[in-house]
Amino acid sequence: MTPAQTLPMAAPDRWLIVLACVAILALATLPWLGSALIVDKLIYLFILVMFAVMWNLLAGYAGLVSVGQQAFIGLGGYALIRLVEAGLPPFPTIFLAALLTGIVAWAMSWFVLRMKAGEFAVATWVIAETIRSIVMFDPIVQGETGTSLLALNAYDPDLRRMVLYLLSLATMVVMVWGTWVLLQRRIGAESQAIRDDEDAAASIGISTFQVKQRIYIIASVGCALAGALWLASAITFQPRTSFGVQWSVFMLFMVLVGGIGTFIGPILGALLFFALQEIFGDFGAWYLAGIGIVAILFALYLPRGIVGLWLDNGRAEPLSLRKRLGV
């Protein structure tokens, strides 16, 4: 069990990381300067980044293309509602809710990870629908109506916004950094080997199921955490929104357009998606149809996304995990 050998980091990457740290520090001071609207929008952006990074971990690095991660987004929110209803303080409970959702992901993993690609995609979706139907039986949720995280109203709105903003920023940073660390470890190389050829990976002694299971649970807890944060910012819990398949479409769009299976791609994709939503969001259905068409075009003609365009010009992939593994 020797750790994978990694090459020293390239100079541009170091600058990129320094730049990211500066950006994070700037973002951390923003709530004292920016308006409430900007703060709210940035919270949503951070949550989008978390979704994209988690889905990329699952689909891009472990080859598990799920259309059902909304199960965990919804469950994270639902667990938060339930636990706060039971009297727990809202903000710390966000993390507890995500951990509890991880147990569901663990239980599900035994079942779904035995399936082939297409089956896995649809089955995870059906399970998300099943969980939604079951959650809708909860009297608190009141079926389609949904419920609200009323306990948050006890806080001053400005304070609540600031706490949530800093919490989301910190969570996003930890999630992105954690993914970076995770993928540089042995499991990162193992999961990519499984994605590329599962049988070959098994034949060289990788416990394919275990690796996939770990990635699946981590990505699901990440989605639950982002989902719980989203609920805390949106306040209203509606089963059709929280468990909606649109989350999967968004995650797919961000990861695909940014560059699936690259570290920086999903982050770029989330930024782009956020910008598109700001610019074209008012067009409603036409905008969402456009998102679908752009996703098709990227899948067909630019499957490596924006990062792929960058690479086509003969440049090195920024923050690549591929090259850093010098075995």
Binding site for other proteins (CB under 8 A): 59, 63, 65, 67, 110-111, 113-115, 117-119, 121-123, 125-127, 129-130, 133-134, 136-137, 143, 202, 207-210, 245-246, 248-249, 252-253, 256, 260, 284-296, 299-300, 303
Which residue, 58 or 169, is less far from other proteins as judged by CB?
A: 58
* Tokens coding 106: 């663990």
Smallest separation (angstroms) from other proteins to the CB of 294: 8
Smallest separation (angstroms) from other proteins to the CB of 220: 18
Which residue, 180 or 209, is less far from other proteins as judged by CB?
A: 209
What are the two backbone dihedrals, phi and then psi, of residue 147, each rounded to the nearest 5 degrees?
Answer: -150, 180
CA distances from 60 to 51, 137, 260 (A): 13, 35, 5
Smallest separation (angstroms) from other proteins to the CB of 298: 8
Which residue, 122 or 170, is less far from other proteins as judged by CB?
A: 122
Q: How many CB atoms lie within 10 A of CB 245?
A: 15
Q: How many CB atoms lie within 10 A of CB 268?
A: 21
What are the two backbone dihedrals, phi and then psi, of residue 325, each rounded to the nearest 5 degrees?
Answer: -90, 90
Which residue, 43 or 131, is less far from other proteins as judged by CB?
A: 131
Which residue, 140 or 174, is less far from other proteins as judged by CB?
A: 140
Smallest separation (angstroms) from other proteins to the CB of 118: 4
* Tokens coding 293: 């068409």
Smallest separation (angstroms) from other proteins to the CB of 68: 11
Residue by residue, DSSP assigns 241-292 as: HHT-THHHHHHHHHHHHH-TT-SSHHHHHHHHHHHHHHHHGGGTHHHHHHHH
Which residue, 162 or 295, is less far from other proteins as judged by CB?
A: 295
Smallest separation (angstroms) from other proteins to the CB of 10: 27
What is the C-alpha end-to-end distance of the chain, expressed in Å? 13
